Amino acid sequence: MKTIRRRAASPLLQWRSAGANRQYRVGVRNEDTGDKQTIYEGFRQECRLPPELRLTPNQLSFRVESRDAETPDAPYVNVQPFTRIPRFGDDLAPHAPDVVRSPEVAGATAYRLMVRESLSEDVLVDMVVDEPWALVPPGLIKSREVEWTLRPRVAGTWRKAAWSPLSAEAIEAARERALRMIAIEDEVRVRPEAEGVTWPTPKEIALPAAPARTAHLAVAVAVSAQPDLAPDPTVQSVVDTQWSDGHGGGAVDRIARTLELSNLRGWFFLDVELGDAMSPDIIADLAERLVGRGHEVGLYIGLGLLAPKGSIDERLQAMLARMPTRAHVGVMLGAGPDRESWLKACVDARLPAVVVSREAQLALPGWMRWRSSAFAASPTTIVLPTALFLSTPAHARDRVTRHTFDNRDSMAAANIAAVVDNMSRLEATRLIIAEIDPLLMLDRRIAVDADAAHAWNSTLKQLLPAWFAAGWKRSTKAYAMARGLSEIRLDLLSGMMQNLSQVTLPWARWSDVFDPTQATGWAPGAVAYEPMIEKRRGPRRMRRSAVRRYDDAYRLSLRADA
């Protein structure tokens, strides 16, 4: 057992939505000192207490205000009054002298505790509690002539309630409670047993000898599909828009062409299960074209919505058998269910290296989740996370943001050369992988057409019932549809690749990464830290035009060569 001072039970503050497209401001008040401060301004419905408030023993309350996000000059409107933040050690014993109580009112959703001086009627405490009882914060009580009330809120209105004197005994008991330490149980952390999946500890993994590597670069392209975005409910429409139409107009075609214009070559990981479900020859044809243009081809493990029946190990073996080339097979693990089981299947298959996207990495066990450099999952398999860095706050109310090297993050695309240059100087950095998602290249538009959605669903259910069962149908209220490729996204990718082409680091060869005798050289060995680059962010800039508002992706596209 150990003792601590009272403090907030949780640093996380949450509140209800005030409507669509709202900006929030959160203020915290110290009910024992009267101090107020704003701790959050943003668009989420949650925030955290700052470090200086997390350990204070004083009673805290928080208020939420809101305004229309499209009108930044509009005043904030109060949507939640100052509400009590629960603390450790606030036991509400029935007969405790510093606990004030009032009769419960039928239909009341909350109660408003108010404490004031009797003579001047200056309000000392004003906060909302859930029940008709509360502890009295004693910090501002200086005289003995004090009274309190608990007003119930019924049907959205605060009803009046009688004021009652606060006895000297209650004031003294509240002050004694403020100084009292509370006992808590010693925390015992027990590592939960994995269900069906067990991993060796790092000390149990003895990597075979392999040539140690310096920093290298690579670009991984995750080739999957989202059929409900296609203009027509046909296999050919999906392939032409999202993969390759044979004339350079598909998303994968344009990515390959962009890489080639910057004299770069990519690693294209193909969703074999999805491709086979659409057409038996489509994967082989696409792989042949990509290899003919000098790119490398591997296996992508995606959502598996059209996967055949069978265990994960059986499905993996079937996909490996369908790969166009069997020499040095590379695998990339994308977002989807059972990511840990899929990684375990790759380990059991003794695949030398597995590239893991950021979304997939977050679904892996905790000790793998925040790794930023290559690490060993077994003596025979190396896990290669895609690269990431942090941008530090530009002002006091800003926050640290995590960026992945991909084609959705305009800041990463604009600063990738400088970040890579600094990252390459860290001892543990061996392989820096940028991730490209072809689905982000699509020009998505929201359509509201119930008749068209119904016609799409009817055709899909008749011609491709497996797709309909997989959930690729359109809502009659609104749905997203791809109308070609986004020029802004294409220009962002072009600028990103041009910046990468200026980096002096060597590019990793496929055989050096996915060869069993070479792969373990990419793990940093005994280095006991994860490399992380931080870049300071300047003021966020927005460009307004007469047509639409553009963000940093457009600003980057203006700097990209045609």
Which residues on adjacent β-strands are paired with residue 25? 41, 65
Q: Which residue has the higher pLDDT, 544 or 409?
A: 409
**Same-domain status, 223 and 342:** yes
Same domain, 219 and 281: yes
Q: Is-contact 385 356, C-beta < 8 A?
A: yes
At 315-362, the pLDDT tens digits run: 999 888 887 665 688 999 998 888 999 999 999 999 999 999 988 998
Residue 298 within any structural domain of the chain: yes
Answer yes or no: is pLDDT of 414 > 60.
yes
Half-sphere exposure of 39 (CA within 13 A, CB side): 25
Q: Residue range 286-295: average pLDDT?
A: 91
> Rounded to an integer, what distance in angstroms lies between the CA atom of residue 452 and that of residue 287?
34
The whole-number pLDDT of residue 47 equals: 92
Which 8-state DSSP code applies to residue 135? E
Q: Which long-range contacts (CB under 8 A, 24 or more apart) does 312-318 make?
A: 312/338, 312/341, 312/342, 312/345, 313/345, 313/348, 313/349, 315/273, 316/342, 316/345, 316/346, 316/349, 317/349
User: Same domain for 9 and 67?
Assistant: yes
Give the residue from 66, 90, 114 where a domain finishes: 90
| Cα–Cα distance, 74 to 180 (Å, whole number) | 45
Confidence of residue 185 (pLDDT cuts 50, 70, 90): low
* Mean pLDDT of the region 158-167: 90
Q: What is the pLDDT of residue 344?
A: 92
CATH, residue 2: 2.60.40.10
Contact at 8 Å (CB) between 243 and 442?
Answer: no
Residue 450 lies in a domain: no
**Are 352 and 243 in a shared domain?**
yes
CATH code of the domain in which 109 resides: 2.60.40
Indicate if 83 and 221 belong to the same structural domain: no
140 and 273 within one domain: no
Residue 551 has pLDDT above 50, yes or no: no
> Looking at the structure, do residues 499 and 550 belong to the same domain, yes or no?
yes
Looking at the fold, whether 347 and 389 belong to one and the same domain comes out as: yes
Residue (of 113, 121, 117) closest to 141 by Cα position: 117
**Three-class SS string for 486-497?**
CHHHHHHHHHHH
Q: Are residues 285 and 145 in the same domain?
A: no
pLDDT > 90 in the chain, percent: 28
Q: Do 434 and 555 reside in the same domain of the chain?
A: yes
- 557 pLDDT tier (thresholds 50, 70, 90): very low
Task: Report the first-to-last Cα separation within the chain, whole angstroms.
Answer: 68
Indicate the burial class of 493 (C-beta count within 10 angstroms; 0-12, 13-18, 19 or more): buried
Q: Which residue has the higher pLDDT, 198 or 277?
A: 277
What is the structure's pLDDT at 194?
46
pLDDT, residue 351, reads 92
pLDDT of residue 544: 37
Domain count, the chain: 3
65 domain residue, yes or no: yes
pLDDT of residue 221 exceeding 90: yes
Question: Could you give the CA distance from residue 389 to residue 381 in angstroms, rounded to a whole number?
Answer: 25
What percentage of the chain has pLDDT greater than the value 70?
86
Number of residues assigned to the chain: 562
Nearest to 286 by CA among 265, 266, 269: 269
Q: What is the pLDDT of residues 98-126, one digit of tens each?
A: 888 888 899 899 999 999 988 888 889 99
Pairing of strands 60-68, 22-30: antiparallel
- Quick one: pLDDT at residue 1? 56
Rounded to an integer, what distance in angstroms lies between the CA atom of residue 421 and that of residue 439? 28
What local confidence, expressed as pLDDT, does residue 550 receive?
A: 41
From CA 379, how far away is CA 184, in angstroms rounded?
42
Q: Is residue 153 part of a domain?
A: yes
- Is 133 within a domain? yes
For 474, the token pair is 């359109």
Which DSSP helix (H) or strand (E) runs through 309?
none
CATH of the domain at 378: 3.20.20
Query: What confidence tier does 92 reach under pLDDT thresholds 50, 70, 90?
Result: low
For the chain, the average pLDDT equals 83
Co-location of 72 and 127 in the same domain? no
Phi-psi region at 76: left, alpha or beta (left = phi > 0; alpha = psi -120 to 50): beta
The answer to the question of residue 204 being in a domain is: no
Instruction: Please report whether residue 452 resides in a domain.
Output: no
Q: What is the mean pLDDT of the segment spanning 477-503?
A: 90
Q: Is the pLDDT of residue 82 over 90?
A: yes
- 198 Cβ contact list (under 8 Å, min separation 6): none
Query: Among 39, 70, 90, which residue terminates a domain?
Result: 90
What pLDDT was estimated at residue 76?
Answer: 93
pTM above 0.75, yes or no: no
Tell me the pLDDT tens digit for each residue of 418-451. Answer: 888 888 887 667 889 999 999 999 999 998 989 9
Residue ranges making up the domain that contains 286: 212-444+483-559
3-state secondary structure 162-195: CCEECCHHHHHHHHHHHHCCEEECCCCCCCCCCC
263 phi-psi bin (left φ>0, alpha ψ -120 to 50, beta other): left
Site of tokens 């606030």: 90
Residue in 9, 3, 54, 2 with CA at minimum distance from that of residue 28? 54
CB atoms within 10 A of CB 75: 7
Secondary-structure breakdown of the chain: helix, strand, coil percentages, each rounded to the nearest 5: 30, 25, 45
Q: Say yes or no to pLDDT of 218 above 80.
A: yes
Alpha-carbon gap, residue 21 to 69, rounded angstroms: 6
- Per the CB < 8 A criterion, the answer to whether 301 and 255 are in contact is no
Domain final position from 49, 74, 90: 90
- My answer on whether 297 and 276 are in the same domain is yes
Does any domain span residue 63? Answer: yes
